[in-house]
């Protein structure tokens, strides 16, 4: 399926599973760049690794749970340029920034309300902030596509947003 729209209800695992699946596929075949745009971010738990099934794909993760930050660090270490536009000064985003600041580039965009995840393989956007509540709790409306023409249009737009944003260093 090339396009999918997901409307979640409170407590649905569908969105978490979609996000985890897209990012696992990206780790198997990493692209050159990945953009994460969200006003607020947190280190969302995405994958249950109690049985160690993902040890080969995420060799630097030793815990029972694989988090969004672990996946982005893995992509960065595989050569993907991870670019994040958020507000690192917000309390929920600060620890995420502290974990990833050596592996990802951060920028700030004034009055940013856009939310999406962009790679060369997929494009995901919608109402969800990339926070625990956004992925696991809130009612969300997300669209994802694997159509090359839409992916490239979205990737060009993400690159333009990146150029508009101000580098964040702390």
Segment 155-161 shows an average pLDDT of 96
Is residue 58 within 8 A of residue 71, CB to CB? The reply is yes
Check residues 127 and 72 and name the one with the higher pLDDT: 72
Tokens of 161: 């947003």
State residue 3's pLDDT score.
81
| pLDDT tens digit sequence for 11-27 | 678 888 999 999 999 99
Asked whether the predicted pLDDT for residue 161 surpasses 80, the reply is yes
pTM assigned to the model: 0.94
Is residue 76 within 8 A of residue 106, CB to CB? The reply is no
| pLDDT tens digit sequence for 40-51 | 899 999 999 999
Count of alpha carbons within 13 angstroms of residue 146, beta-carbon side: 8
Tokens of 151: 């992916």
Domain 3-167 has CATH 3.40.50.300: no
112 pLDDT tier (thresholds 50, 70, 90): confident
Asked whether the predicted pLDDT for residue 1 surpasses 60, the reply is no
């Amino acid at each position: 399926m090339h396009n999918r729209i997901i409307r979640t209800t409170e407590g649905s695992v569908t969105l978490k599973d979609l996000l985890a699946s897209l990012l696992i596929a990206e780790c198997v075949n990493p692209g050159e760049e990945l953009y994460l745009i969200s006003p607020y971010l947190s280190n969302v738990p995405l994958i249950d690794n109690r049985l160690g099934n993902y040890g080969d794909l995420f060799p630097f993760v030793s815990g029972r749970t694989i988090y969004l930050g672990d996946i982005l660090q893995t992509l960065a270490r595989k050569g993907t340029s991870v670019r994040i536009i958020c507000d690192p000064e917000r309390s929920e985003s600060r620890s995420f920034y502290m974990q990833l600041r050596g592996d990802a580039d951060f920028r700030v965009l004034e009055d940013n309300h856009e939310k999406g995840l962009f790679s060369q393989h997929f494009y995901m956007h919608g109402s969800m902030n990339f926070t625990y509540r956004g992925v696991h709790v809130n009612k969300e409306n997300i669209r994802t596509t694997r159509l090359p023409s839409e992916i490239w249009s979205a990737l060009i737009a993400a690159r333009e947003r990146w150029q508009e944003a101000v580098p964040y260093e702390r």
